Amino acid sequence: MRSFDDIPGWLAQRKQEHLLRSRNQLQSAQSTRPVINGKEVLSFTSNDYLGLANHPSIAAAMRAAAEQYGVGAGASHLVSGHHLEHELLEQELAALVDREAALVFSTGYMANIGVISALMSRRDTVLEDKLNHASLIDGVRLSGARSLRYRHNDTDHLAQQLERAQGKKLIVTDGVFSMDGDCANLCEMADIARASSAWLMVDDAHGIGVIGQCGGGLVHKLGLSSEQVPLIVGTLGKAFGTSGAFVAGDKSTIDYLMQVSRPYIYTTATPPAIAAASRAALKLVAGANAARTNLTERIQQFREGIKTLGYELMPSYTPIQPVVIGANEKAVSMSEQLLKRGILVTAIRPPTVPKGTSRLRVTLSAEHTADNVEYLLGVMEDLK
């Protein structure tokens, strides 16, 4: 796009290439059976992995806190908006991921750009997985640090890139990759980071609540210490079913981020009622082992069924199960045909994923039943 006048033409081009994004309108509570655009559908699109977004206990906690504390926080955390509920939530989140302290942000995007831009400068180097989330990529851009990208999950290439790094060295990676669903090789990465005097930062947005005995996430499941993984970022709008995000680490690092992270300092705090809801969600997440077991069973059921049908799957054993279609037009067409049969599955296209890898991104929830998955597989068989 060369000028403002080119916007209509740019949009027309995107539409012609089957890349124009649009929105569905949610008209009910989030669930596996939401009302979308006036029609109830069976949804395989939500990040509500444990089915907590409409949980009555969480809703009750939010209502009670709103009655007691009001709606808005009224100011940023460092002025007068840091509430007792925020403080308690930070302590409980730190305990969940086995770290000394945590800092709550309004969104995961803000957490990632806030942490990276606070820690790194133009004299430093950030090592990035080529499939990292956009918020990690943008955090590096805002910091001004030199970016060295390594091939996806290729620890040998990471080690090679580290030899070119200057200044402070920070390795940033998704824990669970949002479009492929696979997990980072964190144990190897932690060893490489330590040998190179680099820090390792993990965005565990899609692992927190889902992976591990109490939902402590991928880092926690692998038993990686604060020395091995100094920074963990997690979100509350996925498995927790609420809103917001956090970064956890040792107390001195968290105190430093509170002093210098601009997205934290210059943003009005999230409502105390949201923090109270997240605290209620945290208790449910910690005790949700049965739900995580059911989720694992649905993942296995889907993978076995879709392989039998001959579709191309990716090496993911998380709730994110991408079915690679290839062409943009075909992926969009299949998504539309699924919707006609009452199933909501989103077609993911470039630039979110590489060209030629457009896909149907199936996400599974503990609330899905075996019959739900069988119905999806049956329709996918018809579309083959």
| Number of helices followed by number of strands (H, E) in the chain | 14, 15
109 labeled binding residue: yes
| H/E element, 283 | helix 272-286
206 assigned ligand-binding residue? yes
Residue 9 assigned ligand-binding role: no
Of 302, 333, 335, nearest to 320 (Cα)? 302
Contacts of 293 (CB under 8 A, 6+ apart): none
CA angle 119, 122, 124 (to 5 degrees): 60
Catalytic residue among 135, 178, 261, 316: 178
**Segment holding 247, helix H or strand E:** strand 245-249
Say what the alpha-carbon torsion angle 296, 298, 304, 306 is, to the nearest 10 degrees: -130
Contact present, 158 and 189 (Cβ < 8 Å): yes
Query: Of the candidates 139, 145, 143, which has an alpha carbon nearest to the alpha carbon of residue 169?
Result: 145
- 108 marked ligand binding residue: yes
Catalytic one of 77, 238, 261, 368: 238
Catalytic residue among 169, 206, 220, 221: 206
Residue that the structure tokens 């409502």 belong to: 271
| Whole-number Cα distances in Å, 26 to 23, 43, 237, 366, 368 | 9, 11, 16, 20, 19
C-alpha closest to that of 233 among 201, 199, 255, 267 = 201
Give the CA distances from residue 81 to residues 73, 77, 122, 221, in Å, rounded to whole numbers and listed in that order: 5, 5, 32, 34
Strand-strand pairing, 169-174 and 125-129? parallel
175 half-sphere exposure, CB direction, 13 A CA radius: 27
Is 238 a known active-site residue?
yes
Rounded to whole angstroms, the maximal C-alpha distance in the chain is: 58
Q: Is the dihedral of CA 57, 59, 61, 67 positive or negative?
A: negative
Q: Is 133 annotated as a binding residue?
A: yes
**Distances 379 to 99, 303, 345 between C-alpha atoms, Å:** 45, 15, 12
Of 198, 146, 144, the residue nearest 168 (C-alpha) = 198
Distance CA 19, CA 242 (A): 30
Binding residue positions: 21, 108-109, 133, 178, 206, 235, 352
Binding residue positions for pyridoxal 5'-phosphate: 108-109, 178, 206, 235
Active site residues: 178, 206, 238
Binding residue positions for substrate: 21, 133, 352
